[in-house]
Structures are given as structure tokens and as C-alpha cells.
Chains A and B, each alone.
Chain A
């Protein structure tokens, strides 16, 4: 663990070419830490595991439990004030009728995620072959990563300005613009796992073998490359779908009167409908969880 702590520091120091003195001092620091760790691993061999486990529980599991717990506690009335209007049940099914809003959002979410993922997959598959076949592939790959790095709200804004009514007027804010936005960041999300699979599967070798057996380039893609890339494609599709469902920032800017689930949660909070927001969050977590299981099933063997 001491090495794990010290390594990034050392890395940065060396990168910046700082004199040997400071490296020496980090070495001394490292030695000290190693000593402590030696002691720790002798006396408290389990400590490390426990700390990591605690950390995960603290930041990942507990918040989810808190949310779930609040939903249960405030189902029929607010646990503190006892107000019925502050209950999950009332806000969902009563006059505020957030449940139907949630159902609408679910529809928009799934529709846009499905369509965006489908179109993005259609773009991603030939893109992978371009990246692998040509010299400019590396450049293309770098460009494709941009939507992953740019803050999502900036991405949404640029799409709104370019394609929205102020720009080329391709679509009004709404589901079509949502789909367009999601396609932009979904393509790289699908391309990356496909590339990883490509690199691990010796596709050029098998394609060559197929060609000598009489397959055209098209036959080869269809009968060799795509089946070998299947796992990567499936992983990419699920990642992209999950990401579409959870995306908030960019969607918020382009969604117009339609809404997907995450922006709806934000809207609920802003309208101070906390119990409804809690329920919607739980709902979203459950969906993501199912997708995660699916992802594991697809990628492990």
C-alpha cells in the first residue's frame, strides 16, 4: 500500500524533472512507509482488506441504502412531520401525479437510449474497422474520445447551438435532439470495448485465413470479424445504453418539453418534491443494477 501511495507522487516528480534531492527524500519517505506497512502487515494483516471494504460500503452501499430506506419510511407520510402531502405515495399517485411523469420519462429514456444505441452501434462497427485498417485510425480514435472528455453540459450546449433552431434547425429541443446528443457520446463508448476485443482476438490472422479460402472482404467481416467481435459489441451496447439512461447534463439542455428520468429527478428536487425524487432515484438505481448484471453476464465467461 505504501508503494501505491508513493508511486503517483514519484511519477509526477520525475516527469517534471525535479532534482535528485527530492527523489531521495521521497525514497526516504517510501522507506518509512514501507516500514510501517511491514509492521502493519505483520500485526494487522487483515486491516488493509477491512479498510478497503469499509470505504466501499461507506461511499457506495450506504447512500443507496439511505435512499431506499427513506422511500420505505416516507411511503405513506413524512416520518418527521407526519404530513401526507410529503409522502411518496401522495406525490406519485396523488394530485402532483409524478408517477405518470415518471412513466413518460421512462418511455423517453428507453426510447432515446435504444434508438441512440442502435444508431451509434451502426456507426461504431465500421468505425472500428477504419481505425484498425488505416493509418489515420489513431487520429480518428483520438477525435472520438473528445465527447467523453468534454463536460456533458458543454456537449449538450454545443449540440443545441449547432443543430437546434438557432443553428441548422435540424430538430427542436425534444426527443430527437436527445437522441442525437446520446449518439455523439455513445459512439466512443461502443468503439472502445470493441477495439479492446479486436486487439485481443487476432482478427487479421483469421480474416487472412478466410480470404485464402475464397471469402471476399465483405464475407470476412460478416462471418469472421463480427462474430469474433460479438462480445465487445455486446459490452459496448450495454455500456452505451446504461450511460444513455443515466446521462443528465447534456440531456437537460436539449430535451425541451420531453424528459428522461435523471433530469426529471433534478426537476423534482427543484420543485421540492423530495419524496418523489427519492422514489425516482430508487427506480433508476434498480434499472441500472439490472443492466449491470446483464453486462457482467455478457462480458464474463
Chain B
């Protein structure tokens, strides 16, 4: 049932000096696992807090289940919220934390206890229910926070960087567990994170945020295969950026002249002839061959950096037009080349993206804050 809708929601702090959320529209479908992804400080937490009622929007409306809730206090919205810092009540043990919701709502003792046991079972925490939060490990605290958020029976779960405080190993384990739980219980979940790998791995859809705005909403595949914004191309996955001007344009293809008169071709994405553009190419799309071999979309260069990252090799290559690009190849499949070697870098026409050159400059557009 729970669908969440935000229309034109805006929030500022400090008498308008800090724009935390800048007029966003967002719809979350029933039983969807949606992730708000963006660099820290981009307004993710504020958005979540406005959905929960912990913060009131300056403008715009919040709907839960088609009911306008913008004016309702948190206790009347029926959402489960897992806080970034977990916010487990320090003066209560695990059991009291988990049963707080049912008890404060005045449910019968028997029912509260049954729910408490169910929730702890759900997150597989059986022992140590009389321990206080300060005595628990990070992973256990996270489970308690989750159990507590679920205990009120809400079908809408808000998770603010729920894995942020955990070790890398536990983090990857727990993220699938949370998703499984959400799917098993048929909940709608809004998950906030700044970790794109986490977002890609668990989301049905992702909303990419930057500076209080939502840039693109889509499935992980859509964001990766078809970024609509230059920031998204860089933040979801990685991209190399080459600046140039469009010199030719047919129905399907365009030719872009890079610095020093190097021509490359890309797919036509509604750009005009003569327009200044940025060609974005993912590091894993670029092929690399030894020596100078001309061909379509082939650019000569020199290896400047080499890093073996375990499964991949990461080359930094200075192209003949002075641009620096990163090439990532699977370590077992690739030739191992060394620094200083002359190489040719190439990419398929249909595997690059073309964006209009940003008004404020490339660097500003890609900046995290």
C-alpha cells in the first residue's frame, strides 16, 4: 500500500542561507526499494526527515498513501525510521528499545511482547536482549535499530545510511539482508546512501541527488547505461570526459573534434552542429592496444600510471591531445603493459555519451558540493 509522493518540496536552514532541499518531485511506488544516492550534504537526510515528519518542508507537499501528511507530526505518519547513528535509547536495554513502539502506543502487553520476540527473531538477535546499546557491536546495534523500526508494524521503512557505520565486510553482507527483509515483509523502503556500489546492488530504483536537487531517477541499469546528466555519468560508475565541438551531424551520428584536431564519433543525442560538448566514456569501455594503430575512435597515448587492483588493472593514459583518461581492464584478460609504453585507446561509437558543455564549467558540474 504505501506509496510516497513528494511534490515541489523545499527546505532551507539558517533563515534561508542553507538550501538543503531544492524543490524536488519524487514518487516511490508501493513495495519499491528506492535509494536516494548522493554525496554527503546533498540533502538526503533532510528529505527523509521530511517524509517522516521530523522536519517540516518550507514549501511543497508530502503524501503517504495519497494522504497529505505535510502537517502531521511524526507519530501520526506510521513510518519506521532507522537513523544514521541508530539512535538506540541509551538508557534502555535491547528488549525495551525494540518494544518501545508497541508500548508507547499503548498496545496490550501480550501483543507487545509477541511483536518484540518476532522482531528480534527477524533480525536474528536472540541472546543479549538485556544488554544496553553501549555494550553492543556496530552490527548488533544496526540489527536492533532495524528491529525497533519494524516493531510498530509500519509498511514504510526509511533507512538513513543504515550501513554507514559498519566494517566493509559486514556492510556488504547486511545490505542484502536488509533488502531480503524488506521484500519478505512486502515493505516500501527508502534507503539513503552516498555509496554508489551499495545503491546499485540493492535498489529497484535510484534517485541521484546533488545540491538539494534530484538529477535522475531510474533503475541501476538505466543510470549506468543511460545517464541523463553529466554528474550521474560520473557518480554512478565512473567516466572519462573529453571536451570538444561538434563538427558534423547526421541522423544517427555526430563527429566531435577534440583538442588538437582529433575526431571521434558518437551517437546523435539531439545536439547542434558547432555546440561545445563533453564526451563521456566509461573506463571499462575503453580498449587498449600496444603501439600506434589508427582506426575509428582510436586515440594514441602514453601510459602514465599503472595499478593492479586485485581483479582489475587500472591504467592512467595521457592522450596525444593532452587529456588524461583512465582505462580499467580485467586483470586475467588484459595484456599487462607498463608505464611509458605507447598505446592506442579505442571505444565503440555507441558506448559513449555526449553532454552539452555545462554552463558553469565541467569541474563545477562534477563537484560533489
Contact = CB atoms under 8 A, between A and B. Distances in A.
Contacts of A206: 87, 89-90
B100 A213 contact: yes
29 contacts: A205-B85, A205-B87, A206-B89, A206-B90, A208-B54, A208-B87, A209-B81, A209-B83, A209-B87, A209-B89, A210-B89, A210-B100, A210-B104, A211-B53, A211-B54, A211-B75, A212-B52, A212-B53, A212-B75, A212-B79, A212-B81, A212-B149, A213-B75, A213-B148, A213-B151, A214-B78, A215-B75, A215-B104, A228-B90
A211 B91 contact: no
Interface centre among B101, B104, B151 (most CB of A within 10 A): B104
Nearest to B79: A212
Contacts of B49: 208
Interface stretch (A52-60, A68-76, A219-227): A219-227
Interface string B82-117: 010101011100000000110011000000000000
Nearest to B77: A212
Contacts of A202: 87
A213 B90 contact: no
A22 interface: no
Interface residues of B, number: 26
Interface in B108-156: 148-149, 151-152
A227 B77 CA distance: 26
Contacts of B74: 208, 211-212
A169 interface: no
Nearest to B88: A209
Contacts of A215: 75, 100, 104
B220 interface: no
B73 interface: yes
A45 interface: no
Given A211-B73, A211-B75, A214-B101, 14 more contacts: A205-B85, A210-B89, A210-B100, A210-B104, A212-B79, A212-B149, A213-B75, A213-B100, A213-B101, A214-B75, A214-B78, A216-B75, A223-B100, A228-B90
Interface in A228-259: 228
Given A211-B54, A214-B101, A215-B104, A228 B81 contact: no
A224 B89 contact: yes
Contact of B54 (A212, A214, A219, A228): A212
B301 interface: no
Contacts of B105: 214
Contacts of A217: 73
Nearest to A208: B54
Nearest to B76: A214
A228 B52 contact: no
7 nearest interchain CB pairs? Answer: A213-B101, A211-B74, A209-B87, A212-B81, A214-B105, A215-B104, A208-B54
B44 to A, nearest CB: 16
A67 B101 CA distance: 59
A67 B75 CA distance: 61
Interface in A171-197: none
Contacts, number: 61
A31 B149 CA distance: 61
Contacts of A228: 90-91
A64 to B, nearest CB: 39
B2 interface: no
Nearest to A212: B81
Nearest to B81: A212
Interface string B265-308: 00000000000000000000000000000000000000000000
Nearest to B85: A205
B212 interface: no
Interface centre among A211, A213, A216, A227 (most CB of B within 10 A): A213
B43 interface: no
Contacts of B148: 213
Contacts of A219: 104
Nearest to A213: B101
Interface centre among A206, A210, A214, A223 (most CB of B within 10 A): A214
A232 to B, nearest CB: 13
Contacts of A212: 52-54, 74-75, 77, 79-81, 149
Nearest to A219: B104
A202 B87 CA distance: 9
Nearest to A216: B75
A223 B105 CA distance: 12
Interface in B38-66: 49, 52-54
A211 B87 CA distance: 12
Nearest to A204: B54
Interface string A134-172: 000000000000000000000000000000000000000
Contacts of B101: 213-214
Interface in B204-234: none
Contacts of B89: 206, 209-210, 224
Contact of B83 (A205, A214, A216): A205
Contact of A227 (B85, B91, B100, B152): B91
Nearest to A209: B87
Nearest to B84: A205
B133 to A, nearest CB: 11
A223 B52 CA distance: 20
Contacts of A210: 89, 100, 104
Interface centre among A208, A209, A215, A219 (most CB of B within 10 A): A209
Contacts of B53: 211-212
A216 B52 CA distance: 14
A197 to B, nearest CB: 12
B338 to A, nearest CB: 53
A223 to B, nearest CB: 7
A113 to B, nearest CB: 29
